[in-house]
Structure 1
Amino acid sequence: MSSSDVSMLVDMGFSQAKAERALQITGNKGVEPAMEWLLAHSDEAEPSPGLMAENPVSIPVPATESPQENIADASNEDESAATAKSIKCDVCGKLFKSNLEVEFHATKSGHDSFSESTEEKKPLTEEEKKEQLRLLEEKMRQKRKEREELEKKEAFEKEKLRIRSGKEMVEAKKKLEDLEMKKLLEQRKREKEEEKLAKQRVREQIEADKAARRARAASDAGRVTLSPVASIAAPTVVSTGPKKNYSETKLQIRLTNGQALTQTFGSKEQLSAVRLYIEMNRTDGSGLFNLMTTFPRKIFTEDDYEKPLDILGLVPTAVVIVQKKTELQ
């Protein structure tokens, strides 16, 4: 049995007991069959004792009457109560045949004073039954409409809440993304600045190394020119050996990823210049590395980086291989 159907019948003015009974008899098929049954069987309902107790019918007894007369009047009163055929509304004077009708009238009109009456209420005609059925159906439609409007209003409020929550979530997500993007941009900016400063330091170091090498070369050339021993010995060295002096050397540098760099250096430049060039132009990532040659195989040490390329035998051309330190250990 649906509690909503019982509640709707109670709202229409029927008692809960009668509503439950009507729904049970009609097979719980809904409010309309139960309402039709209640209207068709309104004569079967009896006035409730509670209602009669609240509205007792009292007949005053004259003071001059004898006890025998009082007994007779009481018997007459019992006979009159036994022949009560309807219930009358003391406010508007309408007659009702059943307690169900009384409850419906009290709920609808707000009247609360009723008493028994010997007047007999005529049974409802078909037209009156149809009219009451129409009024009850109209009331049921109104209740249904109010319930639907309430449900629509609740659904609308829920949808508004859902949309507002969705907007707040989207805004929070966008703020978080903007904050992450800002942090990422700042980090990239710092990395670029650091990379720029590192390259600048490398360039400055290369320029300083070049300037130092030029100064040493100029100093060495001055000493050779001013020294008479060197001037006399020079023809002897040239005439006795086939060794040639190269001012430049072309190096092919093989990186750890297989790619190669080709660069020309001065033969008097130190091996550290080659190392700085690799650090600035390598495409195989970062990390510590060593330089070596394959033929003859030689791994250059820290002391070798301060030596000129011609002293290390890297003229006029040579192949230099870059290897990570972990691969050499």
Structure 2
Amino acid sequence: MGFTENSAKKAISVTGGGGVEQAMEWLLAHSDDPGINDPPAVEPQATGQDTTEDERGGKEGEGSSKEGEGSSKEGEGSSKEGEGSSKEGEEGQEGEDAAKSIKCDDCGKLFKTSEEVEFHAVKSGHSNFSESTEEKKALTEEEKLQKKRELESKIKQRRKEREMQEEQEAREREKKRIQMGQQIAERKRAMQELEMKKIAEERKKEKLEDKMARERVKEQIERDRQARKEMFGGNKSEAGATTSAPPAKPVPPPTAAPTTTTQKKEYSTTRLQIRLPSGTPMVQEFKAKEALSAVRLWISLNRQDGEPADEPVKLSMSFPRKLFSEEDMDKPLDALGLVPSAVLMVSK
């Protein structure tokens, strides 16, 4: 932001040479005025002393004329000359007492125009002004140029300070943005850890339930075996050695064996071998009713091949050849033919 020479001179003139700060504030306040760049108006300075001298000259001329005209009326001319001298003294005294400036009674500064007084009152808050016979000294051209240079230097300094402040505010905004991003990432990481912990607890619980179920099955089988043993042992003791045919009576239970072998065996878990793109194998057991998306999530959380956890994962089988789609991710493993064991290929 810069100002023309005319505007700087006008600011110095309006503020009455009150200093660079006052001139700069006036320029900033009136920068949008249409006549800011017009040359400052030159006010004719007519002092009371000049008026007195002119009047004195006129009176003296009038006295000389009257004295030449009425040489015979010497007494009358002398009387009029004395009267003129008396009037000159009165008018000279009035000219000396005429107001030449306006003085601020609060700070003692002198002002030429009412605009300067108004500007000073708004800026400083002073309200006590009076007319003064003191004449404010006008600035020389060198002083005006010096004021202009000081004003431009002050404006440059203000602009530099404003730019530094804007840069500081920009750095603060960037710092806050980075902090906010870090907080969001931290919350996201905490949520992921909580989700992983929840999944691990669920799997641990499922494994414990499976183990307890297997134990119950084993106990039931053992009880059935013990019951059959006791039953067959009791029949032998009752029959004795009289006949060998009775021991063949319990044969019917084996006849049910073909029917049991023809039934499809139900598996509660499956063992999956997962091959990463790098060739690294991973082996993990899953519940047969778990969705394929759980397998994909486990791969993303546990892979050690350097790929990021959020890297998209595609799963496929080599035999029979099959590429699993997004619709397959919601299907259980047993419905996809991945029970009791299978090999899955991971690709990007």
TM-score (norm. length: structure 2): 0.42
TM-score (norm. length: structure 1): 0.44
